[in-house]
A and B are shown apart, each in its own frame.
Chain A
Amino acid sequence: MQPHRAPLRVIAPVEELQTQQPLTLDHAFRLYSRYVAAIAKRLLGRDDDVDDVVQDVFLRAHKGLGQLRETEALKAWLATVTVRVARRKLRLRKIGRVFGLGEAPEYEQIASTGATAEDRAVLARLYALLDTMPVDNRIAWTLRYIEGEKLEEVAELAGCSLATAKRRIAAAQETIDGAFSHER
């Protein structure tokens, strides 16, 4: 399956091009909060954690804003931070479930309101399966097939080697193939 999202072309806003001023936190937030929220939603599969993740990402990221002058670099960096924050959230969620602190969520609401019933059902089943996997495998697979990143980018975002990224994706895929073929 090929990645479906063409990389968004991002060039500095006019005022930045003119002055080359470092980005402030609120400006970066206005530019990229939607982008971060979208990645968080796809990684976590739940809307109720998205706001927290977006805040965490920008608060973690703001220290380095002064050193960045290219918005493209900022966007890539925010994606990396989002993956880290989401990974932590997913691990906490897993630990919580082990200790009986959280029930498995229902994912039938994950799809946008215009989605067909079949899409909703596929997504609900898919995210329920992702919940059963090791977090690193889940993240690698989601980045590859839901987020639509190239393998090299998956490795970079997940902070692992290309070989490890491929191995994680393959392991996750095996689980998904098994579950869906069982249902057919």
Chain B
Amino acid sequence: MSADLMRKIETARAQVDVAWTDERAQVVGRQMMRRKRRRDTVRGASLVVASLVVLLVVGFGVRRYMLPGAAPNVASAPLQTDAPAVLKLADGSVVTPVDRNSLVRTAQTSATRVVVEVVSGAAKFDVTPNSGRVFRVEAGRVAVEVLGTSFTVERLAQDSAKVSVQRGRVRVSWDDEAVELGAGEEGLFPRQRAQLPATSASSQPVESAAPTAPPAPPAPPAISARPAWRALHQEGDFDKAWEVLQREGIDKVRDDAGELLAAADVARMSKHSAQAVGPLRRLLASHPGDPRAPLAAFTLGRVLLDELGRPREAADAFAQARKGAMAEDALAREVEAWSRAGDATTARARAEEYLKLYPSGRRERSVRRYGGLE
């Protein structure tokens, strides 16, 4: 594999992530438990039938054995449990999950080091001051180290985390960056490099800090450098991001390709597809040479064709997307769009073009179908 290809794949693969929210886990978990109950019921019923057959064959009194003992075993632990118990550690520190969807676990406990992982949701930490012991909380790529303080760590999508400090000081680290937060401060991490306050990055190991050090000059809030909806977008909370974006005005989004693409994502993912059209069109008009322009055009085509039923406009959008890695898919979708628009002649012409460019293309079947070449 060439170094260039290695680099591309190396960079890109980190972006394959699943949007596994607590809500989605709950839904899937409930479905799974229903399936399990059905399966148990079937198995139980099968057991009953088998038992009856055996009993009949050996000539025992059947009725006696059919009643309670033969009932199918449908008992199973419910997915939803009671609110999680407060976790009290041996040194007196207390970890309180904020709701029953929040899950924390200790990864290490010793006299000199305690490591707690926030697996999902958020938890509040009241840490007993102890200068001889490091108390570390891990949430995805973000780690928080403290001596004596009270703070909350919320694990967010894509290995990020929100940290709020109620008392004392904490050191938040991710990758090779670190920053200190004092009482009353909060932030989303990992931060963009440009957002790091230069004075707050600490090279001092936490072990050497005073247990209740006075708060440092307040660092600039991590969220304020970007619009609030962008932070929510990054967290994957598209519904809330849409509420904020709508309040601020989607037409007021900064004229930046990344920002416009993100605004379109928020609209689409919060089920306001029609409002995604504006930012995508703005991106194509203002930044036609941007490397993200073909992606924006393809997305616009999909929205117009699949969700808004505007095939002629979709065909134009797909035509603009015929650059780079998505060229083949874009041409295939263009054929489909012309066909749905009722323009059989153009659909056929585009289909022939596709077959010429991609003689054994992945979308040959649908292209032939929509192009009338079957």
Binding site for B on A (CB under 8 A): 1, 4, 9-14, 17, 24-27, 29-31, 33-34, 37-38, 40-42, 45, 47, 50-51, 54-55, 58-59, 62, 100, 103-104, 106, 108, 110-126, 128, 131-132, 145-146, 148, 173, 176-177, 180-181, 183-184
Complex CA–CA separation, A172 to B235 (angstroms): 34
Q: Mark B1-44, 1 if CB is under 8 A from A, else 0.
A: 11011101111111111111000110111011101100100000
The answer to whether A11 touches B107 (Cβ under 8 A) is yes
Q: Quick one: which of B14, B262, B324 contacts A113, CB cutoff 8 A? A: B262
Binding site for A on B (CB under 8 A): 1-2, 4-6, 8-20, 24-25, 27-29, 31-33, 35-36, 39, 76-79, 81, 87, 103, 105-108, 119-120, 158, 233-234, 236, 262, 265, 269, 290-292, 294-295, 298, 324-326, 329, 362-363, 365-366
Residue ID in chain B nearest A40 by CB atoms: B18
The answer to whether A145 touches B9 (Cβ under 8 A) is yes
Residue ID in chain B nearest A45 by CB atoms: B16
Q: Quick one: which of B11, B28, B158 contacts A51, CB cutoff 8 A? A: B28
Leading 9 A-B pairs by shortest Cβ distance: A121-B325, A117-B292, A115-B15, A13-B105, A41-B18, A119-B12, A111-B15, A122-B12, A55-B32
Chain A residues positioned under 8 Å from B262 (CB to CB): 113
Q: Quick one: which of B35, B81, B158, B326 contacts A55, CB cutoff 8 A? A: B35
Contact A24 to B362, CB < 8 A, known contacts A47-B18, A112-B15: no
Residue ID in chain A nearest B258 by CB atoms: A116
Q: Quick one: which of A13, A118, A125, A148 contacts B106, CB cutoff 8 A? A: A13
Chain B residues positioned under 8 Å from A118 (CB to CB): 8, 12, 291
Q: Quick one: which of B103, B269, B295 contacts A121, CB cutoff 8 A? A: B295
